[in-house]
């Protein structure tokens, strides 16, 4: 699996390390990802998602079924 959130679509972005002398070197800002298991009561099974901290808050707020439906519509989950 790549380092992309399956709920929000967050992924690594590119930026600069800036030293004290203002010298810039390229770096990556990685998404805050976790591998998390959720129970899906509609299908009576567990699913494993690679989800960001923001994605977890989204699931807690809106519910797993609605978040998965929205993620499939946006193309973050292919199933």
Domain boundaries, the chain: 13-74
Q: Which pTM was predicted?
A: 0.85
Residue-level pLDDT at 74: 94
pLDDT digits over 19-69, tens only? Answer: 999 999 999 999 999 999 999 999 999 999 999 999 999 999 999 999 999
pLDDT of 1 strictly over 70:
no
Cβ neighbors of 68 (< 8 A, separation 6 or more) are 7, 40, 77
**CATH homologous superfamily, domain 13-74:** Ribosomal protein L28/L24 (2.30.170.40)
What's the maximum distance between 2 C-alpha atoms anywhere in the chain? Answer: 57
Residue-level pLDDT at 27: 97
pLDDT of 79 strictly over 90:
no
């Amino acid at each position: 699996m790549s380092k992309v959130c399956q709920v929000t679509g967050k992924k690594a972005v590119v930026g600069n390390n800036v030293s004290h002398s203002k010298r810039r070197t390229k770096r990556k800002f990685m998404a805050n990802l976790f591998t998390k298991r959720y129970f899906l009561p509609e299908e009576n099974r567990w699913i494993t998602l690679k989800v960001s901290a923001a994605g977890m808050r989204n699931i807690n707020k809106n519910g797993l079924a609605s978040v998965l439906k929205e993620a499939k519509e946006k193309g973050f989950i292919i199933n």
